[in-house]
Structure 1
Amino acid sequence: MSDSTRVQLRKLLASRYTYLVKRLERVTGSKDGAADALHETWLRLENANVSTQVANADAYILGMANNVAIDQHRRERRHLHEDDVEALLELPDELANPERIVAARHKVEALKDVLRGLTPRRRAILLAARVDGLLNREIAEHFGISLRLVESELSAAMKYCLQRMEDIGDAYPGSRSGPRKF
C-alpha cells in the first residue's frame, strides 16, 4: 500500500471513528469490542499491502475491522477467562492425598523390580516403545533386528510384566491393552 493511501485510510478512521464504532458494534456485540477491533485495525493499516487505490475507504476499513473482530473472538474462545481459571485452581486435587501418593510410589518401585527381571534387550525394547514412544519400525532399526522380532519381544515383555504385577497384586485393572502406534 502506498504511503499516501495508508495515511488517507488512517485519517478517515480517526475522523469517522464514532460512526465506525457504531457499525462494528453490531458485529462485536459491544462498544468495547468494536473499539478494540478499530484500534487493532489502525495498527494493521501500517502493514497493509494494497497496490491499488481504495475505491470505498469506509468499506475497506469496516471489512478489515470486521476480520480483526472475528480473529479476536476466535482467540477469546480458545482461552479460558480469568474467572474460569480461578475456579479451576480452587478445585481440590483429589489425586494428591497421601495414601494415593504412597500407593503410586509403591507401584513404581514394584514395576522397577519387575523390569529388572527382563533380559536387557527386552527391557530396552519395552522402554523404547512405552516410555520413549518409538514406533516398532524405529526400534527395529535402532537395534538392527526385524520388525517381527520387535513385536515378539515387546509382546513377551508386556506379558511378563503384567503377570509379575498381578502376582504381587499391583496390576492395574484393564492394563492388558493401551494405545500403541505401529
Structure 2
Amino acid sequence: MDKPRPTSPDPIGELYAGHHHWLVTWLRRRLQCPHQASDFAQDTFYRVLTAGHYDPPREPRAFLATIARRILIDNGRRLRLEQAYREELERSIEHSDQAFSPEQILQAIELLERIDRALSRMKARVRETFILRHLEGWPQDDIARHHGISVRTVQADLVEAMLACDAAMGMS
C-alpha cells in the first residue's frame, strides 16, 4: 500500500529550491542573456507566490515553463507598446515645431507603466482581448471566435479592461 506523500510546510520553497536553476537555464537558452534569464525566473516565482492558493503541480517544470512563457509574451507585448510609443513620439516631433519636454515624456512613460500594471492585474482573457483589439487591431468577432465566446462577452471584457485602464490613469 502506498504511503501518503507528506506535505511540505513550504511547497513553493521546495519548488524554488528544486527547479530555480533549471528554469534559469531554460530561460537562458531562449533569451541568450543570463541577466534577463535570472530576472524572468524571479518574475515566474513571483507570479507563483502572488497567485493565491498553491497546489504543487504533478509536472513542476512544465508548470514553470508555462508561466515563464506567458511572462515572455507579456514582456514582448510591453516592448512593442513602448516601441510604438517611441515611434509615434518621433513622428510627432518631426511634425511639430516644439519637442516634448522631458517632464511630458516622463509623464507619458509613467502613464504607460500604470496601464501595464493594470493589464497585468486583469484576468488573462480580459487582458488578451484588450491587447488583441487595441494593439493588434483584431475585430471583435474574430476575438470572439479565438476565445470561443460571444461578441457580447468580448464587449464586456473590453469595457472591464477600459475601466481598469481608466482607473490606472486616474480618470475614475
User: If the length of structure 2 is used for normalisation, what is the TM-score?
Assistant: 0.41
Greater radius of gyration (CA): 1
